[in-house]
Amino acid sequence: MTDNIETKQFKSLPVWKYSAGIIFVWSFIMLALLLWNYNNEKAATYEAAKIQARTAFEKDVLLRQWNADHGGLYAPITEKTQPNPYLDIPEREISTPSGIKLTKITPAFMTRQIHELALQMSGVRGHITSLKPIRPGNAPDQWESNALASFNKGIKEISSVEKMNGENYMRLMRPLLTDESCLKCHAKQGYRVGDIRGGISVSVPLSPYSEIEKSGIMTLFIINGIIWFAGVMGIGAGMFFLDHQVHHRLKAEEALRHKEKLQGIIEMSGAVCHELNQPLQAISGNAELLLMSIKKDDPAYKKIINIQHQADRMGKITKKLMGITSYKTKAYLNETIIDIDKAAK
């Protein structure tokens, strides 16, 4: 058994445990960021559709005001433009000097026709409605009824994503306030200036926005995936470097401990050799004198030879102790001791 610094193996840090923990935290952060960005992407989609709905509503109000400021308009009676049977006002139909029959286009009538064109061209649905409609077609659906009830409580705008004909729409509704021009047709219903007479609901299809949203979400997943992967690689590289540094430091510390042990052994062996040399020289010298004073057939002769041999052997051991240059050990009983033969030059 040896305890040499060149061959000793050091246990690495449990890098995979630390790496797994850091990667878990990093993944959690990236997942939270992904969900946050995903929700923002969805919210941006809804907000864009809502902006379009608001623009459509404001455009309807602007055109209605323009119509009302001109006291209504007249248009030729055609298959699509028939006199409004629910419009009870003087001169609902007139004729030009050349005999062309005209019918009056009120703000509400014009708004309905604009809504029909918008539905054909862009799929945007518009509906002018009221809780007390004169025209049955202006009756509200359940969503619009709830919105109109909310307006009476002071709410200025209602919006939500709803299913219509199996498709998702951003529905938005704002109230219409009664002004002087409205009383020509609606005074008999008891409305006064400033009253909430109804509202216009706008329904924008979300499918065009969903396509843009899908592209944005796909890009979001790709970018987050790249960042996550780069982070994992960085964590792995960092932990590998840290493990290498710690391993190097442990090896250096072990080398220092080894050097300290070796220095202690060298000092100890030097002291032992110094203390043993004089007694060994005395023993060898006296053994030599005894051998010179007795005959070889003397029974003590062999014993003195053995003493001299053991003294020489101890002298060789002390020389080995003086020649120790490395820290080598070997097993002895249940412990380890210095292997003098391997430790000495």
Domains and CATH numbers, the chain: 70-205 (3.30.450), 232-343 (1.10.287.130)
Instruction: Look at residues 260, 262, 267 and name the one whose alpha carbon lies nearest to residue 327.
Output: 262
Query: pLDDT by residue (tens digit) across 276-318?
Result: 778 878 888 887 888 788 888 888 888 888 888 888 888 777 7
Q: Give phi and psi for 260, each to the nearest 5.
A: -65, -40
Query: pLDDT by residue (tens digit) across 10-46?
Result: 455 566 777 888 889 999 999 999 999 999 999 999 9
pLDDT at 30: 93
- pTM confidence score: 0.63
Number of residues that make up the chain:
345
End-to-end CA distance of the chain: 18
Which residues is 126 bridged to in the sheet?
Answer: 202
Residue 139, pLDDT above cutoff 80 = yes
Cα–Cα distances in Å, from 243 out to 14, 19, 20, 127, 251? Answer: 9, 11, 14, 70, 12
Q: 185-189: list long-range contacts, CB under 8 Å, 24+ apart.
A: 185/87, 185/88, 185/89, 185/106, 185/108, 185/134, 186/134, 189/132, 189/134
